[in-house]
Amino acid sequence: MNTLMQLKNVEVALEGKKILELEELDVHSREFLTVLGPTGAGKSTILKLMAFLIKPKLGEILWQGEKVNFPVPLHIRRLISMTFQEPLPFQGTVFENVAYGLRIRGIRGKELRMKVEETLELLGISHLKNQSAKRISGGEAQRAALARALVFHPSLLLLDEPLASLDPLTKEKLEPELYRILKQIGITCVYVTHDQEEAYFFADRIAVVDHGKILQVGTKEEVFYRPINAKVARFVGTENLIPAIVCSQENNLVSLKAMDKTLEAIAPFSPGEKVIACIRPEEITLKKDGAALEKVSARNQLPGTIVSIDSLGPVVKATLNCGFPLKVLITRRSALDLNLKPGDLVVATFKATAVHIFSEDTGGKNG
């Protein structure tokens, strides 16, 4: 795998205060890397670094293995393109907006017109080309901004929360379309978002960032299903973080004691270790207590009482008390079939492989 860009031991300070500190972050050629983290975590700063819009106080940035010196040569800056959360339209028509990147690169006439029209077509906004870019809707303006960033075929596209300022319907429509377009042109993309679903949807790999530091980088499966600590687990939507103690271990199958319950998981931990077990709420199924217990392959069967049922539309979130709180996501249909209500006794069932464990104190040891 080719590494397109590499940030090494980079530090950024703003008014004397350190706002970003990265040991290493690589962008591989043709991958989609999403940077996920809460507001103010330093996500946008990472993008600005990658676009060479700001200069790091320390550390170096490598482009295709070569160190980039400041001031960054124009021909390198021109391989990179970036959009922001707001579409930031320029004065003039949509056509002129999209043409800007080509004009400053000295492209004129027929070639310019062809490239702009091709890109407008790609983004589905050909019909807007003669309209003022400041007078189109939010979704259209975001498409125009993307067209403006893509028209000169950059090697690296940086997207800073491109869907965050859109209404849910527009977002729902643009999200898969944007993904399809970007995959179609085979561009390398770094995508910043605070939305875990969006991050998962767009990513090949995810970097989780908080307080100016990278907490974890990995494939989206790794980050979502094997978070290295409680913070990452929470960012990626793992709502069940259960403190437990390892009782026994045999062939990587560990048994854990959590309050008065026993959990089984696959992890290389030794007896006596204090750990956190995390279980994603959608990995758990519910059965009514007393219903005929069929043979199930799931090793974990925890009895509990339903504390609350919250409908989230197509899915229902049930909160159980199993000695510790346990959140479960089930479909609306199965919630109706089971006729669940607060106070009911149920059994929560999940596989040993659905339980991910990390050490309580460090968060570094990974199972």
Partner 1 sequence: MFLGLRRFPGRNLLITLVNTGMGLPPVVVGLFVFLLLARSGPLGNLNLLYTPSAMVIAQVIIALPIVAGVTMAGIQNLEEKLKYQILALGASRFQYLFKLLQEGRLIVLSALAAGFGSIISEVGAVMMVGGNIKGQTRVLTTAIVLETRQGDYSLAIALGIILLLIALFLNILFTYLQQRRLS
Residue numbers at the binding site for partner 1 (CB under 8 A): 48, 51, 53, 74, 77-78, 80-84, 86, 88, 90-92, 100-101, 104-105, 132, 134-135, 148-149, 152, 158
Those residues whose C-beta lies under 8 Å from the C-beta of residue 1, and which sit 6 or more positions away, are 28, 29, 31
What is d(CA 96, CA 201) in angstroms, rounded to the nearest whole number? 32
Cα distance between residue 260 and residue 226, in whole Å: 25
Q: Which of 197, 275, 288 is nearest to 241 (CA)?
A: 275
In whole angstroms, how close is the CB of 326 to partner 1 at the nearest point?
43
Among 220, 204, 216, smallest CA distance to 24 is for 216
Nearest one of 340, 337, 229 to 328, comparing CA atoms: 340
Tokens 């007896």 belong to which residue? 271
Helices (H), the chain: 43-50, 74-77, 94-103, 109-122, 138-150, 168-185, 196-202, 220-225, 230-235, 332-338
Which of 53/329 has CB closer to partner 1?
53
3-state DSSP assignment of residue 319? strand
Nearer to partner 1, 64 or 285 (CB): 64
Q: Closest CB to partner 1 among 95 and 358?
A: 95
The least CB distance from residue 51 to partner 1, in Å, is: 5
Distance between CA 205 and CA 165 in Å, rounded? 24
CB of 91 to partner 1, least distance (A): 6
Least CB distance from residue 130 to partner 1, whole Å? Answer: 12
Residue 48 Cβ vs partner 1, minimum distance, rounded to whole Å: 7
Asked if residue 30 lies in contact with residue 157, where contact means CB atoms within 8 angstroms, the answer is no
Question: CA-CA distances (angstroms) from residue 180 to 46, 62, 148, 234, 328?
Answer: 25, 29, 18, 29, 32
Query: In the bound complex, what is the minimum distance in angstroms from residue 212's beta carbon to partner 1?
Result: 19
Q: Any idea what the Cα angle at residue 117 is, between residues 114 and 122, rounded to 5°?
A: 125
| Min separation Cβ 119 and partner 1, Å | 13
Confirm if 115 and 151 have CB atoms less than 8 A apart: yes
- How do strand 32-36 and strand 205-210 relate by DSSP bridges? parallel
End-to-end Cα separation, the chain, in angstroms = 26
Nearest distance, CB of residue 82 and partner 1, angstroms = 4
Cβ distance to partner 1 smaller for residue 104 or 259: 104
With respect to partner 1, which residue has the nearer C-beta, 51 or 307? 51
Specify the residue, 152 or 269, whose C-beta has the smaller distance to partner 1: 152
**Which is closer to partner 1, CB of 80 or CB of 347?**
80
Q: How far is the CB of 143 from partner 1 (least distance, A)?
A: 16
Looking at the Cβ atoms of 151 and 263, the one nearer to partner 1 is 151
Nearer to partner 1, 156 or 258 (CB): 156
User: Of 146 and 206, which has the nearer Cβ to partner 1?
Assistant: 146
Query: d(Cα 48, Cα 120) in Å, to the nearest integer?
Result: 26
For residues 224 and 202, what is the distance between their CA atoms, to the nearest angstrom? Answer: 13
Closest approach of Cβ 47 to partner 1, in Å? 9
